[in-house]
Structure 1
């Protein structure tokens, strides 16, 4: 029978944890001949080959070593290059597999009959007692798996709304400690991005590309709480958090889209899912409602834009005559070098003082209350002033729910006046709030 699953295990140092992981793969309900294991050794000071070879009589196992530490992405890619099966299961070297784990992943992909797919398994974060039990070959008891030792993604998505949000951005939960993908999708997106050599987000970025490769279908990903694994305690440097922010900034430069932009805020997995879904709905709603159109711009603003260095946000604004060095966030036009599908809550691609003004036609009215201040405060670091344009419309705020939408401009003026120099001007087509 041909191999149905390739288990890719990236490793660096920590041979004791790798030993426990490989041992767990010898106790799977999936027959040995149905899967192979490929271990990638990313320049460990003491090569991990002896640990891998211990299992050669019980597993179909291969070993790939880099003499130098190249990073998690390159290590996964090197190991996956040796994989022969149509399905790749990525399992971290400090993650012990439940006996049915491989069977769950195999069955998910087999049921898809060759169609692309991603299965995200669950992982319990064990402490010392759970780790010791597994290394002794004993089962993990319920007392070792209380709320402090659960998968944080499952806690964050326990509210029913969060699982309804999941199809909008399943890649947000795409951690590769226990996740499988069809080999063809892996090949088509080019594997993991090897430019991401630091810790964090390289797995989300990979699954983001897989999701959009296939047109973001809602059924491509599944989160399986019964595809269980157990994460062993390991030493994590405090500098990893800073490194992950460098990777986050790289992500924002690479993918100039709102669904990556929202990750920049400190939030739970569940709230990231909800915000991506909400903003996707908001972009559709304000387009359908006829908002964001350049026709709403007063003539004086339009004339200034023709020569200014500006960022203009709205539907169809990329067709405006704009000064050199200008950029648009126009979701109604294809993205290119000067047009991005962003919200404007980060603005990292613009240097301080690089813009004369920012003009936002209506999209600002769909920002959540915590995101509007981010747009304004960061925007005024990049530009001399901001023009918030509110098109005159009879759009019913309640009909747009749950999409957020500013209808009462007086409320916003009262809220912002203590913090900015603000002028409100009413024109035939729109009201403009000027902030400095």
Structure 2
């Protein structure tokens, strides 16, 4: 039978975590001959290739690589070029899929064959599968607090110069209790998870490449990832935005389908990369408030305010009594985004915001209050 799912795992110097991720895919309850795994290596120098070549799997495993690092978008596109499946599942090299992962994805696609199916936000939970000597002091303290109850913490960790494995591929494959001793609940607040899961506004934000499944034909239709995104951040939401413009629906799996392998924070890069945001605005223009609002209220910093603002703006346009304030709010966000991206004249920018604030003065609707708040926040872009 033909391959149904192509699991693409981009990686760069994550050999330790990657082997556990591959081992987790070995435990899948979904038939092994119906999915393939493609490891796309963005120029690793930590022996990733050699470890993959000696790793034995019962599912088809392909290794593709670039000789030098080109970035997260380019390496995912390289993996996509080798995919054969009807659907593509993007997983990060540090994502430990639970045995029912692919089977759960399949259940969602059977009901919604054209949808983007995301493991976020219900798979935020973490696991300390390795101890890293370059953990920050606070990360070391937290790691100690998780490992100590299971007697896994060792005083010599503080003096370690190399990565120390706490869970092995054999533990994952044989499903020992090793993983249960190093997992811990997500630190993400419930309110954030609730907002992330909602799809009434900006549903494309569910496309997070830690674990997300998309029909391959749709990926090819929109051209895959934008390779102008070289640095960390927004390349997945950019892809989601383009799919959203094709009216592709988005669903989040309610089940926990895997764990994130905890690592030093500096591995991640900047969550909201300003250069990448400028690329998005340059590409799509300044007519969409959902993009313009990124400049004033970054979702990574305040997702609740971000989404509530979009909802209030939408409701504002539906009522004659608040439509004028809604137009001013939309204009405010557009002016702010243009200044952010194009570095417009500061004095002219301030005067534009001042005119809007004068017009908004005395208005008492909820839309007007949000308008006044966003105008004040927009002023801070020049502080």
| TM-score above 0.5 | yes
CA distance in 2, matches of 1:377, 1:225: 38
* Equivalent pair of 1:5/1:85 in contact (CA under 8 Å): yes
Per-residue deviation at 1:83?
Answer: 0.5
Per-residue deviation at 1:115?
Answer: 2.7
CA gap 1:92/1:37 in 2 versus in 1, 3 angstroms: same
Please state if 1:132 is matched with 2:166.
yes
**Higher relative contact order structure (alpha carbons within 8 Å, sequence separation ≥ 6):** 2
2:232 match: 199
CA distance in 2, matches of 1:70, 1:89: 21
CA gap 1:158/1:80 in 2 versus in 1, 3 angstroms: closer
* Equivalent pair of 1:156/1:269 in contact (CA under 8 Å): no
Per-residue deviation at 1:201?
Answer: 1.6
2:243 match: 210
* Equivalent pair of 1:345/1:374 in contact (CA under 8 Å): no
2:210 match: 177
Per-residue deviation at 1:9?
Answer: 0.5
Please state if 1:166 is matched with 2:199.
yes
CA distance in 1, matches of 2:7, 2:348: 50
* Equivalent pair of 2:196/2:206 in contact (CA under 8 Å): no
| 1:141-290 to 2 correspondences below 5 Å | 144-147=182-185, 150=186, 152=188, 155-158=190-193, 162=195, 165-214=198-247, 220-237=249-266, 240-241=269-270, 244-255=273-284, 256=286, 257-265=288-296, 271-272=302-303, 275-286=306-317, 288-289=319-320
1:93 match: 93
CA distance in 2, matches of 1:350, 1:270: 22
2:345 match: 352
CA gap 1:173/1:264 in 2 versus in 1, 3 angstroms: farther
Structure 1: 5+ residue runs without aligned partners?
294-312, 316-328, 332-339, 382-436
* Equivalent pair of 2:127/2:179 in contact (CA under 8 Å): no
Per-residue deviation at 1:19?
Answer: 1.1
CA distance in 2, matches of 1:264, 1:83: 36
| 1:55-74 to 2 correspondences below 5 Å | 55=55, 57-74=57-74
CA distance in 2, matches of 1:151, 1:4: 34
Per-residue deviation at 1:211?
Answer: 1.8
2:20 match: 20
* Equivalent pair of 1:87/1:181 in contact (CA under 8 Å): yes
Normalising by structure 1, we get a TM-score of 0.65
More strand by share: 1
- 3-state DSSP class of the match of 1:115? coil
- 3-state DSSP class of the match of 1:237? helix
Larger Rg belongs to: 1
CA distance in 1, matches of 2:232, 2:107: 31
CA distance in 1, matches of 2:251, 2:4: 19
* Equivalent pair of 1:108/1:119 in contact (CA under 8 Å): no
- 3-state DSSP class of the match of 2:50? helix
More helix by share: 2
Structure 2: 5+ residue runs without aligned partners?
131-146, 153-164
